[in-house]
Structure 1
């Protein structure tokens, strides 16, 4: 089998420059004589051009970059599936990149997508830093943030303040005074800060005593933190920033033979389908993540087509009052 040639080798065998070969491959102007030389070399050596690389460097290439912090999150995967399906139905091709919650990798891939000349970027950012803002200011590519607010561009977010208020009020009115709040780093402005403050503002109205633990969104880390915390303390209720963290907390309580909700109540945010299956069923906020994915696809395409959309679009939710919270008044 003959070795497939590179553009450099084709140029050398044809006696022309690499830029001439590149123009030929991209249907640019090349003289008839030179075209015949290049074509002869290509046919003789079984050269196959990288169609993807050629296409993405062209204008109006229909590629949209999608940066996500992880692929194993139920929320991320739901949004991503709907985003992917809707973009394809609109005639665009998503280029999905996982950043593993690494901000430096996130910023690096923003630069990479910009150099690839994608038509738009959808970013599910870990957090919004000064570097993110500077990139948006300098970029000529439409950029849409999902799950974070970047004032320099467009955003789609959950109604965190209203959701937090409902959870905080519900727990307080259920009579819980001694509460553990398991949050995440407040650099995550919406989930780590706004959601937390909305919950606490309601609890404070009822003179609740609140302890805090900071986790990292993960099941395993939350399980470990809760297990160690309950060796010395026992609040009547745990409020978790996400359902996934709530599942970790539930596992720790089960290991300690602490009954839910008879001894300790627990709530989450997310509304994952698995929260319907655990016993007792988890009281939680279910965000409409499928709607977020569809709206993100439609919004980035509108920005590419220079159509007007709101600067911030807010996704609503439903409160699922289940069996994991006891009413201490009864």
Structure 2
């Protein structure tokens, strides 16, 4: 079995320059004589060019960088699977980089993709910091943000305000006037601020003014812990949760207090996870169209690469899932 040669070794065996071999492999001009010598060596040694290494040096390498905060999120994984599929069908190769919610690693990953000379970058964002802004301003690579708004960069986000308002109006319409909103940090503008503001407006449209706020993170465990402490001295008629995962934690805390959903306390969330339908009772929630997000992201990044004219902001539609976790009060 013959060894895998390097470009330099091919050049020495074929008695040509390294740059000549590189041009040959990348489809550039090479004289017929040199092309025949290089081709003979390649066939003799069964040389397989490193497509990735060649690609990142090319101006149009067909690589799209994708930076995600995690791989175990239902939402991220659903969008990512559709995005991967639709990019490949369009002739692009996705390079996925997971940062595990490490913001330093996130910025390093973005820099790495610039150095790799990818044709475009899709960034799943949870927060936009000053360092992110500096990165956007100094780089000209086509860039698309998913999940957050940022002026000057094209973005795709859920219609969080309308979704929040829909849940708020539903809860208010069923007579709830003592509501806890279980949200996340306002560093996350889309979920922490915009979604919450939509809920508040929806509730107020039905005369609900008593709204408590409790901050948690995106984990079910932290939500359970926070709600359990809250229920020691409080008993809202409904807990509106910023995500389904948070809702799962809230429901677990309610059960641990010897209460039931929705008989004692109603609960609803956002996300529309498949498991939400399998709960007993099924969760009342908002389902965003993750497949649409993946397809829209593919279409948008390709248009950005081709310098086509597009809208800077795009919103993903949602469906209201009635479920059975919100009780109608007398």
TM-score by length of 2: 0.87
Local SS of the residue matching 1:270? coil
Provide the secondary structure at the position in 1 that maps to 2:127.
coil
> Residue in 1 aligned with 2:189?
189
Runs of 5+ in structure 2 lacking a partner? Answer: none
Relative distance call for 1:40 and 1:86 in structure 2 (3 A) is: closer
In 2: Cα distance, 1:188 partner to 1:10 partner: 53
TM-fit CA distance, 1:229: 2.0
2:72 paired with 1:85? no
Asked if the contact 1:133/1:152 (under 8 Å) is kept, the reply is no
Which residue in 2 is equivalent to 1:164? 164
Whether contact under 8 Å (1:176, 1:208) holds in the other structure is: no
Could you tell which deviates more after superposition, 52-61 or 23-32? 23-32
Deviation digits for residues 196-229 of structure 1 (CA, Å, limit 9, x no counterpart): 1111233345243222221221112212222222
> Aligned partners of 1:308 and 1:266: how far apart in 2?
43
State the partner residue of 2:297: 296
Partner residue, 1:249: 250
Pairing 1:217–2:218 present? yes
Give 1:223-238 correspondences, 5 Å limit: 223-238=224-239
| DSSP-derived class of the 1:269 partner | coil
Q: What is the aligned length? A: 329
Contact 1:148–1:190 (CA under 8 A) maintained in structure 2: yes
What residue is the counterpart of 1:122 in the other structure?
A: 122
Q: Does 1:63 align with 2:63?
A: yes
The alpha carbon displacement at 1:250 in A equals 1.3
- Cα distance in 2 for partners of 1:214, 1:130 equals 23
C-alpha deviations, 1:217-245, integer Å up to 9, x for none?
A: 11122122222222332211111000111
Q: 1:39 deviation in Å?
A: 9.6
The 8 Å contact of residues 14 and 38 in structure 2, kept in 1 or not, is answered as: yes
Contact preservation (8 Å) 1:103, 1:126: no
CA shift at 1:13, angstroms?
Answer: 10
Matches within 5 A, 1:33-112: 50-112=50-112
Match of 1:173 in 2: 173
Calculate the TM-score normalised by the size of structure 1: 0.87
Residue by residue over 1:102-136, the C-alpha shift from the partner in whole angstroms, topping out at 9 and shown as x without a partner, is 22211111111111111111111121222222222
SS in 1 for 2:224: helix
CA deviation vs aligned residue, 1:295-326 (integer Å, no higher than 9, x gap): 11111111111212111111111111121001
2:273 is aligned to 272
* Cα shift at 1:152: 1.2
Corresponding residue of 2:241:
240
**How much has 1:280 moved relative to structure 2?**
0.8
Between the aligned partners of 1:97 and 1:3, the Cα distance in structure 2 is 31
Secondary structure in 1 aligned to 2:128? coil
CA distance in 1, matches of 2:17, 2:133: 40
In structure 1, distance between residues paired with 2:244 and 2:68: 19
Shift of the 176–95 alpha-carbon distance from structure 1 to 2, 3 Å rule, reads same
